[in-house]
Amino acid sequence: DAGVIQSPRHEVTEMGQEVTLRCKPISGHDYLFWYRQTMMRGLELLIYFNNNVPIDDSGMPEDRFSAKMPNASFSTLKIQPSEPRDSAVYFCASSMDSMGNQPQHFGDGTRLSIL
Amino acid sequence: GQQVMQIPQYQHVQEGEDFTTYCNSSTTLSNIQWYKQRPGGHPVFLIQLVKSGEVKKQKRLTFQFGEAKKNSSLHITATQTTDVGTYFCAGPLLIQGAQKLVFGQGTRLTINP
């Protein structure tokens, strides 16, 4: 079975530009998570969805960040406008559970650099 | 607030030496999960421990869950260069009224061949 698929793998853009990250979860997983990883802050949960519905977005840094899940096989994380401090690795993960009773399966991540 | 803490943050060993990372929770956990992230890679699930005092082994890796289910450890015997990476523990914690999987900050293991 295919794992979690993310695109693009790398993104370099200038500040102020819109950035869209994409994720396809594992089929049959009802939960999708977006994480951000930096050296300073480690792995941070930004938002998660259950059956395509956003459940908890308390980790989203500010209004410049938005996430959608239009169907069970696709999600996007958008940053508009982007800023240099948004530079990080963004991971998407999926699971059969949100409460930590099942493992999470991570995609390869998107390495984002905002100049 | 509730959190998961890992020590040490970094560990450098000679190849062949043993390595241990420790994970502590501020509250009792229903389970603990361990993940490994290779340099430039993504976290990969290794194992889940559920029972008090549980010990599980995967080849040279030994995982323990404390009797009080508030701490855990990962021990690697005779490290190899393939063990390089960051090891994360994660446990379900109640954050702002909702149970979530919370990751520790990780222990970054480097190995001198």
Helix/strand/coil for A112: strand
Query: Torsion over CA of A110, B44, B53 and A45, rounded to 10 degrees?
Result: 10
- Is the Cβ of A56 closer than 8 Å to some Cβ of chain B? yes
Residue A44 to chain B, least CA–CA distance (Å): 8
Laid out side by side, the sheet with A5-7 consists of A5-7, A19-24, A74-79, A65-71
Residue B22 to chain A, least CA–CA distance (Å): 17
Rounded Cα distance, A34 and A47, in Å: 6
Average pLDDT over residues B15-32: 96
Give the confidence band of A1 by pLDDT, cuts at 50, 70, 90: low
User: Which pLDDT does position B95 carry in this prediction?
Assistant: 80
Q: Which chain A residues touch B31 with a CB distance below 8 Å?
A: 100-101
- Which tens digit of pLDDT belongs to each residue from B69-87? 999 999 999 999 999 999 9
Average pLDDT over residues A35-40: 94
Is residue B98 predicted with pLDDT exceeding 90?
no
Is residue B1 predicted with pLDDT exceeding 70?
no
Average pLDDT over residues A72-95: 97
